[in-house]
Structure 1
Amino acid sequence: MTDTENNKNSNSPVLRFPGFTEPWKKCRLGDYIRIFSGESPNCVSSKFGIIPYYKVEQLNWCEKYLGETPYLSQRGKNILPEGCVVFSKRGAAILTNKVRMNLFPINIDTNLMGIKADNSFISDQYLFYFILRARLSRIADTSTIPQINNIHINPITIHVPSLEEQEKITRSLGLLDERIATQRRLIEDLEKLKSSINET
């Protein structure tokens, strides 16, 4: 049997990094994540709050990692630990597929959802790229108002390589993200230059 046939039968991708031959494990996502719900906005207090609090609108202000927020909340029951994948769970914002990560403990509003990987099996970065590629619009119930709940997340099938191969994959994807972001900034700068020339 050829390597390609082996890969097809083992649910592994055809293209692999050198040195990795073990088949990827096919799993139910819900068995390896923890799901976090948001807190009501009435817990927000810019004066007395201590935990950064994020709303859906703030997903527009960053690329991959959540940045600064003007909102703070009291320490609640659903604090998201560092490394969660955060995305909209209700409304048209789902269709924009804005998936983010947090670099520190945060709180989120009721229109957002956070999921945290079991890092003994799935890395945070691998989960991030998996959800990003899966596309929120495909996960959501879009029959009426788009929404994503636990029942949509838990049954998803995920194919998982070893942690070492996950690191290789996510590191390569991260480098591609950086190059894309650099090209985007260059294009924006050139567009600004073009506009300034046209105005003279």
Structure 2
Amino acid sequence: MKVSELLDFYSTNSLSWEQLDYNNGKIKNLHYGLIHKGVPTMVDAACDYLPYIKEESMPKSFTLFKEGDVAFADASEDTNDVAKAIEVVNCDNQQIVSGLHTIHGRDNSEQTVIGYKGYAFASDSFHKQIRRIAQGTKVFSISARNFDEVYIGIPSKEEQTKIAKLLIVIDERIATQNKIIEDLKKLKSAICEKLFCTPKDKQPKV
């Protein structure tokens, strides 16, 4: 079905990084830079690190994310990253809004299960359609209107659940393996430092 028929879209803010603060605040803000590089496909609002809006920069009106809402990055220098999407989960006790260069979508008709949309919008079939319509020279962009031309497959909810569970498990395995790799890199670096330091390096500094 058309993405525009599946999702309802909500206004977003245009706050810059200077208007955000990782340490203090009440409402968190999803900047498009985090979608490109920073957060996973399934954003766990309770765990993933998002900045707050500074009190003096608080927008007058906004729409908070609900469980299963999605956000797309509407611009990128690479056509492969235009419309890169995330899905928000575990946000019942969190206040999060969609920020600069994002498109905030919600399946109000509940035709999808939690976890399915994020992966469906990460599929190659979806992005092939986006690349065809993305506009720009140095920076490629889309708008919510472009979703009238983009389609997504909607299997039964039972099938969606199976797909989401499988891909979530794989993502968790990838995250675990990446942490193991980073820990091994640190261990290797420490061992090399001990093994290959020169006698001069071992002398106490005066």
TM-score, normalisation: structure 2: 0.69
Quote the offset at 1:37 in angstroms.
3.3
> Are 1:54 and 2:30 an aligned pair?
yes
Segment drifting more, 139-148 vs 187-196: 139-148
> Are 1:126 and 2:107 an aligned pair?
no
For 1:113, what is the secondary structure of its paired residue?
strand
Q: Identify the residue that residue 89 of structure 1 maps to in structure 2.
A: 74
Q: Identify the residue that residue 147 of structure 2 maps to in structure 1.
A: 153
Contact 2:2 2:147 in 1 (8 A): no
Structure 1 residue runs of 4 or more that deviate by more than 6 Å after TM superposition: none
Instruction: State the AA in 2 paired with 1:131.
Output: F
Contact 2:68 2:114 in 1 (8 A): yes
TM-score, normalisation: structure 1: 0.71
Q: Identify the residue that residue 34 of structure 1 maps to in structure 2.
A: 8
Where structure 1 has 5 or more consecutive residues not aligned to the other structure, the ranges are 1-26
- 1:164-184 deviations in Å (ceiling 9; x for gaps): 111111111111111111111
Instruction: State the AA in 2 paired with 1:132.
Output: A
- 1:113-144 deviations in Å (ceiling 9; x for gaps): 22222453122411111111146575151442
For 1:132, what is the secondary structure of its paired residue?
coil
Quote the offset at 1:146 in angstroms.
0.9
- Which of these residues, 160, 165, 168, is aligned with residue 162 of structure 2? 168
> Are 1:139 and 2:130 an aligned pair?
yes
Contact 2:26 2:52 in 1 (8 A): no
Residues 124 and 92 (structure 1), Cα distance of their counterparts in 2 relative to 1, 3 Å cut: farther
Q: Distance in 1 between matches of 2:78 and 2:101?
A: 10
Percent sequence identity over aligned pairs: 25
Q: Identify the residue that residue 86 of structure 2 maps to in structure 1.
A: 100
Instruction: State the AA in 2 paired with 1:68.
Output: Y
Matches within 5 A, 1:64-75: 64-65=42-43, 67-72=48-53, 73-74=58-59
For 1:41, what is the secondary structure of its paired residue?
coil
Residues 156 and 83 (structure 1), Cα distance of their counterparts in 2 relative to 1, 3 Å cut: same
| Count of equivalent residues | 173
For 2:152, what is the secondary structure of its paired residue?
strand
CA RMSD of aligned residues (A): 3.0
Q: Distance in 2 between matches of 1:81 and 1:112?
A: 16
Segment drifting more, 190-199 vs 111-120: 111-120
- 1:85-112 deviations in Å (ceiling 9; x for gaps): 2231123376447532323242122311
Quote the offset at 1:74 in angstroms.
4.8
Where structure 2 has 5 or more consecutive residues not aligned to the other structure, the ranges are 195-206
